[in-house]
Structure 1
């Protein structure tokens, strides 16, 4: 039996979770499909998900179809939870992109399709809600061809769309045509299309047939053989959770080998940790097991340092690096009861384990805790988790954009060992240079690699990274080149009849602290420009209200670049696209229902950062400020930053 891991992705309210429920029912896992409205779906297991009718956390269910074990991953549709989608895409063999036969191609549909195409992930399209009034599969198929992919291939036709009797009629295909379609689907050159309804079940068996026939036959590993047992296990961590008792649960997709209870697992190259328990997803749900084989999804107990995205074992085939965009907003979280500040931080730390892009920041000086966000809905969800799961009522300060700093020019600074005012037993010289967007942080050397111990070079790198994380105005520098121009140290020395004396010998702390200060001086000389996050927006509005919406955009500093108005006879919405500052997205979203009779749909994604006009905003620092220190080196002591 072969295995196939499939993700179901869609714009919010396209019927993604309803399709997941119907698939599980058709496969015999559920006696009846659950309902989002009734709050009894299998994959939306969180009470908050059921109450709000949205998917917040990815969920896994498994079933068998045509001699294939299928792992089905249900993902969120709301753009505020795009990070959860991102984590799921990294472990998929294929995806089903759900499109509504009524609303058609929507803004988040475009974002997801671009990601799937960029990853080269085999994708099938399911045009849902065929039974709904207003369903128009021909119009939607035309939109798919125009906006998503020119290689969409219908596998059948819709019968009686827009009525309760709507059905799907599969085309007959010759062996030759089927072979070509299979090859194109696996190579992600062709996207097969099935029409149907998650509510009535129309087209769902045909969708499952297409997945197993076109993707799974040779794609995805078979269940373990005797040879696999000898191969080192390799896989990816894609989700973290905690049991009701607080035990950390690590969700992994195993791609190679066999992983057993009591095996030691080295996650991302860290020290190996023992696996003390394994639970494997199967048709009967999550079951305890002694081992997990290649192709399966399992929950591990034991590892305590696991992080989302960690890989283990030999890397290579089957691994994907996915990023749909980092959060562009942040807020400070305060407990309603100041006495619960410690509990608040503990609870947010647990949430940050499950979603590392929350990027928890603790300002030790002010005692403030800040988190990163995709949007206001995510803020509401975090508040609910804090109160209901951890008993902490919290308030959120106004959301602000997460800016970055970009280096303006080339500049350098250095301090020599035993030369005033340098109090550290270290010589460090650094030059900072601008770098193009996306370059990342690069550390170069103009000194001999053997000029000092590797641990001291590592300390310089660490210190430089700390300064770049909170630069001149407190924001991070994402792209630049730092070059080590000077180095020197005192070797380990001992007083007579005594052991190591750090008063006479250089330490890693000397280099870490001095690198922070020297780079701060170089950055201050080079200067930085603060840049604000700018989102690319896509705005669907009724065609008769395009003028009204265009008049509103300047009030939110939004700049439209294109306006696409389809054939009026098709009744499709007009689509506006352009740029809007991240800090203005929420305000625009709040105005949209009033302007568009509630019919407007806005989706945004972080696109770039633009230089700010006016005084640069300052971000409070979570760490001691090296820029304040280097204004007067005579105040710097070797104990900095501890003092």
Structure 2
């Protein structure tokens, strides 16, 4: 057993807030590294990829360890760009607490809001670090108060930034701030403390706040209980506030309580190593995980063997024999293992909402036709590393399709293919991924009874359902007509029957009822109902016709009042639904709804209009019906169940292939 407290801390921020620089400072200040790594020079330990070094941004989440006092801190540095937010989602599921970095120059930005919503939903302890206080033009009071207002958080400043001389900024500990108690930062901190601490409220109203040591003690108590959020000021560039941050991690992030008696672990990242093959990054939640152990994979519902175990030490993989409770490590196994997999018998499921939701699709084409097969294999590997890509290989059409979060992700994928596999690929223009829903109620009849032995006869009724309601299935057929074992096969086939509808998109928001059907006592088998269900469902959809649903963004814009006219004009041109503006000093706030198709590239124009000083937050906000035009319709990929003879031949071949595999 480890004799140290083990904490897993994530460091999160909007891009360019200085997250990776702070990570390098923490490593250096704790004595883990001899020299200070630099993002600008490409020597940051957590930016190990060539692309990260050249671009100066984090693309993949990475974990580094350091010791401080009697604790082992496992720091997970996450990407700040919204295009890589799937990495953040996967990391959030294993964290004990978070350092949220905000640039004191730019303040709260769009992605800061996204991150905050996820942190609040998960109820993770958070320390806010206002970085870059050394930058010219910084208004520390404004950024502190703005954070509170925009995020609805009660902050308590644990130190005070004296930026009266910007060439020589200083930090004062809270107890040495007696000359600054009239500053808005300290005024607001005391006011927040009074609101959540009755004992202090009486002192506050009486003006008895001169004992800053006692005030700090009460502030810390309320941060620990979640009434307040601790805030620190500093500068990674100058090394200011780093020791206070290290101490705050140990003070305010509690040791996780969940300790399972049996071995339990969660996989949060999968990568492919040139020599070691597939590597699974996981966190142990209970027991001890040893090399050569066999542990149950809940997804596979079978035991998998752990071959080797590694720890990441300053970016290098170092082999070890075991991992203890709370530790992050890397394992190899010859079995299938994916990000999100839970090992062991404990319930470690993550049901929280995700920051990353892909609604853009791209087709990928090998520039050299001879590398078609190699490109497909490379994309399969990238999809295992990042499941949000949802890679589809349509072999009949020889097409590769991915889902993406944004254009920067496409550029990185392109570089990845060149650097790792020497494949030059063309990514076509991203297209919005629509959905379909039935236009009206209709029935679909299927009779699959030739060539024998086979028998599955069914009639499906499909009906439109409210937007956002998803899919429901019920059977009104008596078990004397179709037995439960066959009904279960019908249920199993419903999701993949709806992957592509009449217009080429996933079908949703409908109810499906099996209203009639028969089995045959001699000729029926489960595979018949699995094969026939898509034929009946697609026939019903063809009879009903389908409407297109387009994805929508909820937007929030904050910008200078003199830009209200041009920004409103842009939104009107995009046919956005706009709420009445809210005015806040020299700024306005606009909220509303706009289609993803219309707003796909608006952020570039918005940044130009506001000279990078405005804030545009776009969050996926359901779907709404839209017009059907030729450019939106997609052809069915693969063999369509409506082409009955081809579908039967195709599926019978697939079943035979499955039989061969299982033998």
TM-score tier, shorter chain, comes to: 0.7 to 0.9
Give the match for residue 619 of structure 1. Answer: 634
Q: CA deviation at 1:423?
A: 9.7
- 2:479 matched to 1:461? no
C-alpha deviation, 1:138, in angstroms = 0.8
Residue 346 of structure 1 pairs with residue 364 of structure 2? no
The answer to whether residue 609 in structure 2 is matched with residue 595 in structure 1 is yes
Q: Deviations over 1:371-391 (max 9, x none)?
A: 101111111111111112111
The answer on 1:219 being equivalent to 2:265 is no
Answer whether contact 2:154 2:227 (CA < 8 A) is retained: yes
Tell me the CA shift for residue 177 of structure 1: 6.5
Q: Report how far residue 312 of structure 1 moved.
A: 2.2
Query: Within 5 A, what are the aligned runs for 1:118-157?
Result: 118-157=121-160
Deviation at 1:31, TM superposition (A): 1.9
**Structure 2 spans left out of the alignment, 5+ residues:** 176-211, 654-663
Please give the alpha-carbon distance, in whole angstroms, between the structure 2 residues aligned to 1:601 and 1:291.
47
The separation in 1 between residues aligned to 2:458 and 2:439, in whole angstroms, is: 22
Name the CA distance, whole Å, in 1 between partners of 2:219 and 2:74. 26
- 1:485 is aligned, of 500, 512, 515, to 515
Q: Tell me, in whole angstroms, the C-alpha distance in 2 between the residues paired with 1:509 and 1:582.
A: 40
User: For 1:126, what is the secondary structure of its paired residue?
Assistant: strand
User: Are the equivalent residues in 1 in contact too, given 2:159–2:171 (CA < 8 A)?
Assistant: yes
Q: CA deviation at 1:641?
A: 4.4
1:548 match: secondary structure: helix
In 1, Cα distance between equivalents of 2:465 and 2:629? 23
Match of 1:405 in 2: 436
Cα 1:637–1:6 shift into 2, 3 Å:
closer
SS of equivalent to 1:266: strand
**Which residue of structure 1 lines up, in the alignment, with residue 333 of structure 2?**
302
3-state SS of the aligned residue for 1:305? coil
In structure 1, the residue matched to 2:532 is 514
Q: For 1:499-554, what per-residue CA distance to the aligned partner results, in whole angstroms no more than 9, with x for missing partners?
A: xxxxxx32333111210011112223344321111122334444433322222233
Q: Could you tell me which residue of structure 1 aligns to residue 546 of structure 2?
A: 528
1-side partners of 2:461 and 2:84: how far apart?
Answer: 39
Which residue is 1:544 aligned to? 562
- 8 Å Cα contact 1:234/1:311 also seen in 2: yes
The one of 392, 411, 418 equivalent to 1:387 is 418
Alignment of 1:155-170 (within 5 A): 155-160=158-163, 163-170=166-173
Instruction: Check conservation: 1:329, 1:374, Cα contact below 8 A.
Output: yes
Question: Corresponding residue for 2:90?
Answer: 87
- Which of 343, 347, 364 pairs up with 1:333? 364
Distance 1:187 1:267 in 2: 36
- Aligned partners of 1:442, 1:180: CA distance in 2, in Å? 50
For 1:409 and 1:442, locate their aligned partners in 2 and report how far apart those are by CA, in whole Å.
16
Give the secondary-structure state (helix, strand or coil) at the position aligned to 1:57.
Answer: coil
Distance 2:107 2:165 in 1: 14
Matched residue SS, 2:498:
helix
Please state how far the C-alpha of 1:323 moved relative to its aligned partner: 1.2
Look up the match of 1:502: none
* Conserved? CA contact 2:299–2:341, under 8 Å: no
| Correspondence 1:471 to 2:501 | yes
Alignment deviations for residues 262-297 of structure 1 (CA, whole Å, 9 cap, x no partner): 112322341221100111246796431111111011
TM-superposition CA deviations, 1:33-75 (whole Å, max 9, x none): 2222111111111000111111110000011123121111111
Map of 1:4-15 to 2, 5 A cutoff? 4-15=7-18
Change in CA separation of 1:278 and 1:256 when aligned onto 2, cut-off 3 Å: same
Residue in 1 aligned with 2:26? Answer: 23
> What is the count of residue pairs matched by the alignment?
612
Range with greater deviation from structure 2 (165-174 or 518-527): 165-174
* 1:298-335 Cα shifts (integer Å, max 9, x gaps): 10101531121112223347855341241110111111
- Whole-Å separation in 2 of the counterparts to 1:282 and 1:191: 31
CA distance in 2, matches of 1:162, 1:506: 85
CA distance in 2, matches of 1:284, 1:38: 17
Equivalent residues in 2 for 1:110-125 (5 A)?
110-125=113-128
The aligned residue for residue 179 of structure 2 is none
Question: Which shows bigger deviation, 477-486 or 459-468?
Answer: 477-486
TM-score by length of 1: 0.88
Does structure 1 residue 195 correspond to structure 2 residue 213? no
- Counterpart of 1:46 in structure 2 is 49
Q: CA deviation at 1:156?
A: 2.2
268, 289, 304: which one pairs with 1:259?
A: 289
Q: Which deviations, in whole Å up to 9, do the C-alpha atoms of 1:437-467 show, x marking residues without a partner?
A: 5544333333466876665344323332222
| Partner Cα separation in structure 2 for residue 161 and residue 486 of structure 1 | 80
Q: Give the TM-score normalised by structure 2.
A: 0.85
Q: Which of 68, 73, 82 pairs up with 1:70?
A: 73
Deviations 1:558-582 (A, max 9, x none): 44435454323xxxx6544433322
The 5-angstrom pairing of residues 366-445 of structure 1 reads: 366-415=397-446, 424-445=454-475
Say if 1:189 and 1:425 are closer, same or farther in 2 by CA, change over 3 A.
farther
* Greater CA drift, 316-325 or 192-201: 316-325
Structure 1 portions without partners, runs of 5+: 223-227, 494-504, 630-634
1:199-246 per-residue CA deviation (whole Å, 9 max, x = no partner) reads 112112112211211123x43568xxxxx7xx3222211101011226
Residue among 31, 55, 59 paired with 1:56: 59
Aligned 8 A contact 1:9 1:77 in 2: yes
Q: Deviations over 1:242-265 (max 9, x none)?
A: 112260000111112211111123
Change (3 A) 1:293 1:52: same
Deviation at 1:584, TM superposition (A): 3.1
Query: Displacement of 1:636 after TM fit?
Result: 7.3
Q: Residues 284 and 588 (structure 1 numbering): CA distance in 2 closer, same or farther, change over 3 Å?
A: closer
d(CA) in 1 for partners of 2:392 and 2:646? 26
Q: Is the 8 A contact 1:126 1:195 kept in 2?
A: yes
Match of residue 204, structure 1, among 228, 233, 242: 242
Moved more, 16-25 or 29-38: 29-38
| SS in structure 2 of the partner of residue 324 of structure 1 | coil
Q: 1:30 to 1:481 in 2, by over 3 A?
A: farther
Q: CA 1:563 to 1:188, structure 2 compared with 1: closer, same or farther past 3 Å?
A: farther
In structure 2, distance between residues paired with 1:179 and 1:278: 44
Q: Could you tell me how far apart the structure 1 residues matched to 2:633 and 2:374 are?
A: 28
Separation of aligned partners in 2, 1:470 and 1:323:
24
Per-residue deviation, 1:193? 0.8
CA shift digits 1:381-437 (9 cap, x unpaired): 11111112111111121211011112344443344575x999951133333344445
